[in-house]
Structure 1
Amino acid sequence: MAATGKRTRRPAPKPPKCSDCDGTGETTEAVRVGARKGRATENRQTGLCPTCWGSGLDPNPAV
């Protein structure tokens, strides 16, 4: 008789996180004021990560 066992599947590997935004999909920038000098203030603004476009995944994963 052949042994019949329960087959288990391995979970799919998790895609790597974006290195620029650490997987959050957002980056922060300092707010600059002033026409000539453009001095930075204590305020911050968030925006989409330009590398992964807000997905949080690495667009060029190492194979």
Structure 2
Amino acid sequence: MATRKNAKPKPAACPDCKGSGEVPTTVLVGRKRRPVGKQSGICLNCLGTGEAPADGE
């Protein structure tokens, strides 16, 4: 298979979510706030895109 010469390089993965766009958040319940599990949430660093944000923007 031939490679394209004009192909854009793949953007770097977000360091916080490792490119998935989601991060685990611990779910706390009860008066003592004990952890019972994990819940997936959107990555606030890349806003769910999975790409590393550009510096200076």
Does the TM-score normalized on the shorter chain lie above 0.5? yes
Q: TM-score range by the shorter chain?
A: 0.7 to 0.9
1:20-31 aligned within 5 A = 20-31=16-27
| Identity score, percent | 40
| Shift >3 Å, 4+ stretches | none
Q: Would you say how many aligned residue pairs link Structure 1 and Structure 2?
A: 52
**Unaligned stretches of 5+ in structure 2?**
none
Counterpart-to-counterpart distance in 2, 1:44 and 1:60: 29
Q: CA RMSD in A?
A: 1.6
Counterpart-to-counterpart distance in 2, 1:57 and 1:38: 33
**Unaligned stretches of 5+ in structure 1?**
1-7
1:2-17 aligned within 5 A = 9-17=5-13
Higher gyration radius (CA):
1
Q: Is 1:54 equivalent to 2:51 in the alignment?
A: no
1:17 is paired with a residue whose SS is coil
TM-score (norm 2): 0.77
TM-score (norm 1): 0.71
